[in-house]
């Protein structure tokens, strides 16, 4: 993998610095005709973000401003700050929280999701399903 991080320098200049910010833990089988969709999400000060939901496919995201309180099914809540990245597997996994961690300034992230053309960016999860899957949520 280290060969991915080394690029030849442009003529007369130093080589670029390349850092892996997020990487999926494995490769999932996917249909042949997918799209990569990048979106900018800007959260006003104190915004709770979207209610619990799912994404149609894997998501790679990078916080570009502020800090996001983030929680995925099976993982503890954590704060992701500007300059940090995260990965979501999408599919069946519930995204519980993606809130602005800051009460006095906006936060923003750029997310790239892999999905079928026309798929919604997210699908809300109802109270009945949340109750049925409560045992899969990390202790809080």
Q: Confidence band (pLDDT; 50, 70, 90) for 117?
A: confident
Kindly compute the dihedral angle of the four CA atoms of residues 72, 76, 81, 86, in this order, to the nearest 10 degrees: -40
β-pair partners for 68: 80, 100
Q: What's the pLDDT score for residue 67?
A: 98
Residue scoring higher pLDDT (30 or 83) = 83
Please give the domain boundaries of the chain with CATH numbers for all domains: 35-136 (2.60.120.10)
Residues 5-39: tens digit of each pLDDT: 555 555 666 766 666 666 666 555 556 788 888 88
Global pTM exceeds 0.85: no
Name every residue whose Cβ is closer than 8 Å to that of residue 32 and which is 6 or more positions away in sequence: none
Mean pLDDT, rounded, for 117-138: 93
Residue scoring higher pLDDT (10 or 79) = 79
């Amino acid at each position: 993998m280290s060969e991915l991080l080394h690029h030849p320098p442009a003529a007369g200049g130093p080589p670029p610095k390349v850092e892996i910010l997020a990487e999926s833990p494995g490769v999932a089988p996917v249909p042949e005709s997918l799209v990569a969709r990048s979106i900018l999400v800007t959260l006003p000060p104190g915004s709770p973000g979207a209610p619990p939901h799912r994404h149609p496919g894997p998501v790679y995201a990078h916080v570009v401003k502020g800090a996001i309180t983030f929680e995925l099914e099976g993982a503890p809540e954590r704060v992701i700050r500007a300059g940090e990245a995260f990965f979501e597997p999408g599919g069946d996994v519930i995204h519980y929280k993606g809130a602005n961690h800051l009460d006095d300034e906006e936060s923003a992230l750029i997310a790239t999701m892999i999905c079928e053309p026309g798929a919604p960016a997210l699908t809300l999860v109802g109270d009945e399903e949340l109750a049925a899957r409560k045992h899969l949520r990390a202790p809080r």
